Amino acid sequence: MVLRQVNSDTGVTQIVVRANRSMSWRANVLLAASLGGLSAVFGGVIASFGFWMVLPFAGLEFLMVYFCLSKAYRRLGYTEVISMVGDKLLVESGYNKPVMTSELPSHWTKVKFADPSSAFEVGTLSLQCSGKSLEIGRALGKEDKRLLYTEVLRCLHLDESKLRLVS
């Protein structure tokens, strides 16, 4: 999903890029607990008759359920925030908080989208500056990448429109 928002107080334009996530972490924990609880009850009752070998498998399975749900939730929570702050383009990315931040001078930055004709590929969207490349919108599909490309381009052009020729 690509969302564009403008802070009316500061005038900062932000583009938020993230995948769709249809359940909260709390609900995921409850889901894992319900599955683990059920396995624990079954395993516990059978173990109480002396057939304890069900329990380790139930435990291992619970760990796997928890690990997989947390991994899936985390993957879906990857967020990129692209902000226009003054003459800088700020790109922050991370799962629950920004863990990688990149600052690019907006006048020297170009946005490139290698839009493939093949239905099998989604293409690569990147910001390019001083011979270096920073890929953005990695989690997005082709349509959303096109949208993000348009939004970033609009952002960079908006910035140019504010400039005034003085000499």
Query: Binding residues for another protein, per CB under 8 A?
Result: 1, 20-23, 27-28, 31, 35, 38-39, 42-43, 46, 49-51, 53-58, 60-61, 64-65, 68-69, 71-73, 75-76, 91, 93, 100-104, 118-122, 124, 126, 129-130, 132-136, 138, 140-144, 147
Cβ of 118: how many Cβ atoms within 10 Å?
8
| C-alpha 56 chain-centroid distance | 35
Please provide the DSSP assignment of 111-126 as one string. Answer: EEEE--S-TT---EEE
Q: Residue 151's closest CA among 140, 164, 162, 167?
A: 140
Smallest gap, in angstroms, from Cβ of residue 100 to another protein? 5
Smallest gap, in angstroms, from Cβ of residue 164 to another protein? 27
CA atoms of 155 and 15, how far apart (whole Å): 9
In the complex with another protein, the residue whose CB is nearer, 63 or 153, is 63
Q: Provide the 3-class DSSP secondary structure of residue 110.
A: strand
Smallest gap, in angstroms, from Cβ of residue 21 to another protein? 6
In the complex with another protein, the residue whose CB is nearer, 107 or 132, is 132
List all residues 6 or more positions away from 148 whose beta carbon is below 8 Å from its beta carbon: 2, 15, 17, 125, 136, 137, 140
User: In Å, how far are 47, 67, 144, 162 from 1, measured between CA atoms?
Assistant: 48, 25, 7, 28
Smallest gap, in angstroms, from Cβ of residue 82 to another protein? 12
In the complex with another protein, the residue whose CB is nearer, 42 or 95, is 42
In the complex with another protein, the residue whose CB is nearer, 22 or 161, is 22
Smallest gap, in angstroms, from Cβ of residue 12 to another protein? 20
In the complex with another protein, the residue whose CB is nearer, 14 or 61, is 61
